[in-house]
Structure 1
Amino acid sequence: MKVTTLFKEFFDSEKSSGIALIACTLASLFLANSTFGDSYQHLFQIKLGSHSIGHWINDGLMTIFFLLIGLELEREIYQGELSNIKNAMLPIFAAVGGIVFPAGLYLLFNYGTLTQSGAGIPMATDIAFALGILSLLGNRVPIMLKIFLTALAVIDDLGAIIIIAIFYTKTLILTNLFIALGIFALLLVFNRLKVRNLIPYLIGGVIMWYFMLNSGIHATITGVLLAFAIPFGNGDKNSTSYILQHFLHKPVAFIILPLFALANTAIVFSGNIQETLAENYSIGILMGLIVGKPLGIFILSFAAVALGFCKLPPGLTWKSIFGVGLLAGIGFTMSIFITLLAFEDEIIINNAKLVILISSLIAGGLGFLVLKQTLKADLLKS
């Protein structure tokens, strides 16, 4: 199967980003629990203009991360795994299972409580960490498995973005929203007029971000909207979309995501860990990421194939699908991101972040072991 240079770049940057994220998370945890802990946490509360550094990272820089995700999704739709409806059905069904089952398990323990708003936390997959773990298995990983996990994770994140827009919008200022959507419509007109210069889109994107930020809907949605306004053309190296996506890979992987990790994993270890893990929201996150993700992905993938909507691609087995489902249980970036929107109590936010780290570590470890054994067995058979 032909694999584009840009997909290889995306895969390589994401797996490298996973290593950088691990390093930044460990550094952040160490600093937060050291004698410099208060100063370190205060660093992200320093005001730059009207917002804190942490706010600029979460609402500003993360918009660029979502722009990259949007560009990758656009490429998948036009040229990749999602360009053929028959091929697209498997990762789409898998992603839906990976969203619905974890949310259902979380609500099973939290429905009707003050923490039910955290149902979105176990829904999303951290692409960087998941691909990073997969890359540790080396050349034995079939290319279709890499493509399936990437497509699944991108759709997963799109689902999370839609959920953020619908369920995590507390107040809505229609005037600002309509202005933001009007700018988006103008950028689509530029696209139709075949305006290829990036500058009008980037300027329009910044203005759209400002009004979206002040509309009540989370500003990071702007990144995905902008991605679909930027001309794709024929998708070659001279296309506007390709140029921007190629440019964003390294800044996102080695600056934006590490900064997000540093700003949001300053978790202070205090209290009884057993009591923390016994909380309803903790059980919901653990069950959602470790159990709900692999079961949802496996069951809906199996159902899609059994009902004839799609076929299992060459190189994939049901064991490897289950292993990928476990890797998809690595929530980290997106799970922490939604935690910040779902809760207001600092203690609950801190505890939820800790549980996300524990859950992601377990899911990633189990996924690695399952795939290692599965791929080894497949290699021996061949």
Structure 2
Amino acid sequence: MQLTRLFNEFFNSEKACGIILIFVTILSIVIANSSLQAPYINFWHTDIIGHDIVHWINDGLMAIFFLLIGLELEREVYCGELSNFKTASLPIFAATGGMLMPAAIYLLFNYGTATQRGAGIPMATDIAFAIGMLSLLGNRVNPSLKIFLTALAVIDDLGAIIIIALFYTQTISWVNLLIALCIFVVLLILNRLKVYNLIPYITGGVFMWYCMLHSGVHATISGVLLAFAIPFSRGDEKSPSYRLQHFLHKPVSFFILPVFAIANTGIAVPGNWIEGLAHAGSTGIIAGLTIGKPLGISLFSFAAVKAGLSQLPSEVSWKNIIGAGMLAGIGFTMSIFITMLAFKGETTISSAKTAILTGSVISGIAGLIWLAFSFRKTNALPE
């Protein structure tokens, strides 16, 4: 199978980003637990125009990340893995199982408790980390599995965005929301009129983000809406969608996501952090990521194939699907993002972040070992 140039660019940038994310995450945790702990943590809570730095990163810079995710999803819908039902259905079913099962497992531990609101935390998959870990296996990984995991993660992120809109939105300002939606409609009209200049879309996107920020609906939603308003045309290098996606890859991969990681993983690990992992919230997150993700993805994929609704990609075995499900348990970026929306108390947030890191590390290592073993047994694509 031949990979398109844009997919190769997307995969390679995410691969490099995954390595950087691992490095900055470790660095941030080390600094947060050193003698620089207080000034380091306080820096990220410095007030700038009514909001701290972390808030501007999470609500501002991350809207650009979601714009890129939306553009990638748009490409997949028009000419990629999601362009027809047979190819799109497997990652769709897999992503659905990969969201529902972790949430169900989390609720088994937390239903009716103060941490019940965190059910969305283990539902997310971090694209950069998942692909970064998969890339460590080199050319033993066939293109079909790469595309399956990428499509699954993109759909997973879309699901996370919908969950944010439905369950993590507080008081809504209908006036601001209506203005934001009106701007979106205007951008769609420009699309239909075949206006290919990006300036009107970017300008409208900024105003849409501002209105969404003050509407009560999470501002990052504007990034996804903007992506679907930008003309895709034929999807070639002259397409506005292609040009913007190409432009955003490196800033998002090498600046926005690392900055988000540094700002949100400054976790002061308490001396009794192991005991903290035994709390219902932490247990639910770890179990959801390490067990719920691969179980939900594998079961839903198997059911879809057996029902004739989907087909297994060429040169991809069920062992590969299970391994991809394990890597999907790396929930880092989106899981931390949802944590910041779900909880308010610093202690609860810190415990959740520690659980996310623990579950993600376990998922990443387990998935890497499982896939390495399965490739060695099948000798599908030897190096």
Identify whether the pair has TM-score above 0.5, normalized to the shorter chain.
Answer: yes
- Which residue of the partner structure matches residue 105 of structure 1? 105
CA distance in 2: counterparts of 1:16 and 1:363, whole angstroms: 19
For each residue in 1:257-278, what CA deviation from the matched residue of structure 2 results, as whole angstroms up to 9, or x when unmatched?
A: 0000110000001141232011
Letter in 1 for 2:218: H
State percent identity of aligned pairs: 63
Question: What's the secondary structure of 1:165's corresponding residue?
Answer: helix
- Which residue of the partner structure matches residue 31 of structure 1? 31
Structure 2: 5+ residue runs without aligned partners? none
For each residue in 1:312-334, what CA deviation from the matched residue of structure 2 results, as whole angstroms up to 9, or x when unmatched?
A: 11111000000000000000000
Give aligned pairs, total. 382
- Which residue of the partner structure matches residue 139 of structure 1? 139
Question: What's the secondary structure of 1:347's corresponding residue?
Answer: helix
- Which residue of the partner structure matches residue 222 of structure 2? 222
For each residue in 1:132-174, what CA deviation from the matched residue of structure 2 results, as whole angstroms up to 9, or x when unmatched?
A: 0000000010100000000000000000000000000111110
CA distance in 2: counterparts of 1:264 and 1:238, whole angstroms: 37
* Gap change, CA 1:88 and 1:45, over 3 Å in 2: same
Question: What's the secondary structure of 2:45's corresponding residue?
Answer: coil
- Which residue of the partner structure matches residue 352 of structure 2? 352
Q: Structure 2 length as normaliser, TM-score?
A: 0.98
- Which residue of the partner structure matches residue 247 of structure 2? 247
Higher deviation after alignment, 37-46 or 241-250: 37-46
Q: How does 1:46-61 map to 2 (within 5 A)?
A: 46-61=46-61
- Which residue of the partner structure matches residue 237 of structure 1? 237
Letter in 1 for 2:273: I
1:366 has 2:366 as partner: yes
Letter in 2 for 1:160: A
Letter in 2 for 1:175: V
- Which residue of the partner structure matches residue 83 of structure 1? 83
For each residue in 1:105-145, what CA deviation from the matched residue of structure 2 results, as whole angstroms up to 9, or x when unmatched?
A: 00011011110000000001000000000000000101000
- Which residue of the partner structure matches residue 335 of structure 1? 335
Letter in 1 for 2:342: A
- Which residue of the partner structure matches residue 127 of structure 1? 127
Q: Structure 1 length as normaliser, TM-score?
A: 0.99
For each residue in 1:1-24, what CA deviation from the matched residue of structure 2 results, as whole angstroms up to 9, or x when unmatched?
A: 231101000000111111111111
Cα deviation, residue 380, structure 1: 6.6
For each residue in 1:192-235, what CA deviation from the matched residue of structure 2 results, as whole angstroms up to 9, or x when unmatched?
A: 00010010000100000000000000000010000000000000
CA distance in 1: counterparts of 2:236 and 2:2, whole angstroms: 14
- Which residue of the partner structure matches residue 304 of structure 2? 304
CA distance in 2: counterparts of 1:153 and 1:199, whole angstroms: 29
- Which residue of the partner structure matches residue 163 of structure 1? 163
- Which residue of the partner structure matches residue 114 of structure 1? 114
Q: How does 1:267-306 map to 2 (within 5 A)?
A: 267-306=267-306
Higher deviation after alignment, 344-353 or 39-48: 39-48
For each residue in 1:66-117, what CA deviation from the matched residue of structure 2 results, as whole angstroms up to 9, or x when unmatched?
A: 0000000000000000001111110000000000000000001101111000
Question: What's the secondary structure of 1:312's corresponding residue?
Answer: coil
Structure 1: 5+ residue runs without aligned partners? none
Cα deviation, residue 42, structure 1: 1.3
CA distance in 2: counterparts of 1:75 and 1:2, whole angstroms: 16
Question: What's the secondary structure of 2:277's corresponding residue?
Answer: helix
2:140–2:380 contact (8 Å) kept in structure 1: no
CA distance in 2: counterparts of 1:228 and 1:287, whole angstroms: 35
CA distance in 1: counterparts of 2:310 and 2:200, whole angstroms: 41
- Which residue of the partner structure matches residue 193 of structure 2? 193
- Which residue of the partner structure matches residue 260 of structure 2? 260
2:107–2:116 contact (8 Å) kept in structure 1: yes
CA distance in 2: counterparts of 1:30 and 1:278, whole angstroms: 23
Cα deviation, residue 47, structure 1: 2.2
CA distance in 1: counterparts of 2:344 and 2:319, whole angstroms: 40
C-alpha RMSD of the superposition: 1.0
Letter in 2 for 1:31: I
CA distance in 2: counterparts of 1:357 and 1:285, whole angstroms: 10
Letter in 1 for 2:203: I
CA distance in 2: counterparts of 1:265 and 1:209, whole angstroms: 25
Cα deviation, residue 48, structure 1: 2.3
Cα deviation, residue 381, structure 1: 9.7
Cα deviation, residue 43, structure 1: 1.1
Question: What's the secondary structure of 1:166's corresponding residue?
Answer: helix
- Which residue of the partner structure matches residue 64 of structure 1? 64
